[in-house]
Structure 1
Amino acid sequence: MKRTLILLYGVACYAVFFATFLYAIGFIGNLWVPKGMDSPPTAPFATALLIDLGLLALFAVQHSVMARPAFKRAWTRLIPESAERSTYTLLSSVALILLFWLWSPLGGTVWNVQHPAARTALYTLFAAGWVLLLYTTFLLNHFDLFGLRQVWLQFRGRPYTPLPFRTPTVYRWVRHPLYVAWLLTFWATPTMTMTHLLFAVMTTVYILLAIRWEERDLVAALPEYADYRRRVPMLVPGTRRAEKAPRSRSLA
């Protein structure tokens, strides 16, 4: 019975994630959803700015703290280890849902591209970002990333085995194609408002910080990652500049 409940919990967490992922496309692109990023302002500028910064900070803290090995070790004393990734996925989705719900647009326009070909090119880059994002999750293991593999293995009574270190296709060009995809979705827009600029700048800063934390954990966990880090650029293909590897230790 416990195995079945954990499996159903994992499936439910994934369903919440996927619905949130679809809404995020509409929210960032101001497409189809009842409240997009650039909906009409409803609060004074300063109030809206504080609300939005708070929501972004909440997501950043949840997303990063729960991903650290030390937190995982403590967290899995309270919840089944097989449900840890599903819980992380669920709480990340909840943080995004709160952001969608409480987001307070600022108003104002930074740029507005009018040329039809240029607008089409930017929308194409926006769409390409979402396609690349989903594609990169399947290159390694989409179902492991979002917790389904873990709950399925425990349901079958099989031990979890970590994924081997691999660098398929786009991972040979950049170390973090998933973050490249996110940056495309944030910045590729024909109409950049103050609201969108705030979102894009703050999420970009968060991504650059998250890469440092993530790679420190990866170097500690995977001996081969340090060499990979020296050989492959972080975000921009073709910039094969040797980078100093972080110290091989965890954040514990």
Structure 2
Amino acid sequence: MQESIEYKHDCGEVKDSTPWSVALRDSSVLWSLVVDLGLLGLFTAQHSVLARSPVKQVLQSVLGVLNRTAYCFTTALALQVLMRYWQPVTGAPCLWSVRHAPWSIWFPLICFSLHFLCWAVICSSLMIFDYPELVGIKQVYYGCLSLGDPLSDLSPPAQRLLSHFRHPVYLELVVILWLLPTLSLDRLLLAGVLSTYVALAHTLDKQDLAYLCVRFKSKVQLFSGATSGQSDVNNVEE
């Protein structure tokens, strides 16, 4: 807690007094940016290279039904390395920092509320899709029972969507990355690289979005039917 308070103070007051011309020649600032850029390169490379069709075919021949599980594991490992070795830039000014009342109170609350909403949408998106299939559990289950590839049971629109769908939460991720009361130089690097990666990976079209809407409506109807059915049961018991 004390470390976070000192970092906030440094970003708010001490950093603002450091000219950019001096900060960008500081070896500690440059080294932190190089390390962070390397970590981002590792994460994006793992996320992209292992998703390429030739690489997926090779891994499929070696790992079999564990291919998707291995991809999710290496993604989680790369993310842990990114968070563990990330270097905050403490010697450069912040790009912006909301410190004046009343926005110093209200703007962080707005950011928190929108971040909470975005994470709720991200969790809800997992309900639209087949979560066990996304993390590789369903592939292992089908393999143990000799049921084949679970993707073969999907409809053609679903298979088409999955061939385009690089990341399920484009807009929500961008909001989380950029909507902040304080934007430091290392956070700018994080937001810029990941936003660029998301933009380049965006290949959805109208047919994919139409399929998403249909899936969302079916999930809502299923949930509403289950809720009304439970209410009917409760009324009968009473």
Give the TM-score taking structure 2 as reference length: 0.65
Aligned residue among 107, 110, 125 for 2:95: 110
Matched residues in 2 for 1:144 and 1:64: separation? 19
Residue 145 of structure 1, aligned match among 134, 139, 143: 134
Alpha-carbon contact 1:126-1:189 (below 8 Å) kept:
no
CA contact (8 A) 2:108 2:181 kept: yes
Q: Is residue 176 of structure 2 the alignment partner of residue 185 of structure 1?
A: yes
More helix as a share of residues:
2
Q: Quick one: which amino acid aligns to residue 120 of structure 2?
A: V
Measure how far apart 1:99 and its partner are. Answer: 0.7
Q: 1:123: Cα distance to partner?
A: 1.1
* 1:123-170 deviation per Cα after TM superposition (whole angstroms, max 9, x unaligned): 11112221111211221111111111111222333222313335xxxx
Partner of 1:98: 81
Aligned position for 1:56: 40
Between the aligned partners of 1:200 and 1:52, the Cα distance in structure 2 is 12
Q: 221, 228, 252: which is aligned to 2:207? A: 228
Secondary structure of 1:87's match?
helix
Distance in 2 between residues matched to 1:71 and 1:92, nearest whole Å: 15
Distance 2:121 2:179 in 1: 14
Q: Helix, strand or coil for the counterpart of 2:62?
A: coil
**Post-superposition offset of 1:53:** 0.5
Q: How does 1:11-50 map to 2 (within 5 A)?
A: 44-50=28-34
Equivalent position of 1:84 in the other structure: 67
The SS at the match of 2:74 is helix
Deviation at 1:177, TM superposition (A): 5.2
Tell me the TM-score normalised to structure 1 length: 0.62
Q: Against the structure 1 CA distance between its residues 190 and 65, is the aligned structure 2 distance closer, same or farther, given a 3 Å change threshold?
A: same
Deviations 1:215-241 (A, max 9, x none): 5xxxxxxxxxx6516979xxxxxxxxx
Letter in 2 for 1:146: V
Kept in 1: contact 2:133–2:150 (CA 8 A): no
Return the offset for 1:206.
Answer: 0.8
RMSD over aligned CA atoms reads 3.0
The answer for unaligned runs of 5 or more in structure 2 is 12-26, 159-165, 212-238
Deviation sequence 1:61-101 (CA, Å, 0-9, x none): 11011112221111112112x11111000000111111111
Matched, 1:70 2:54: yes
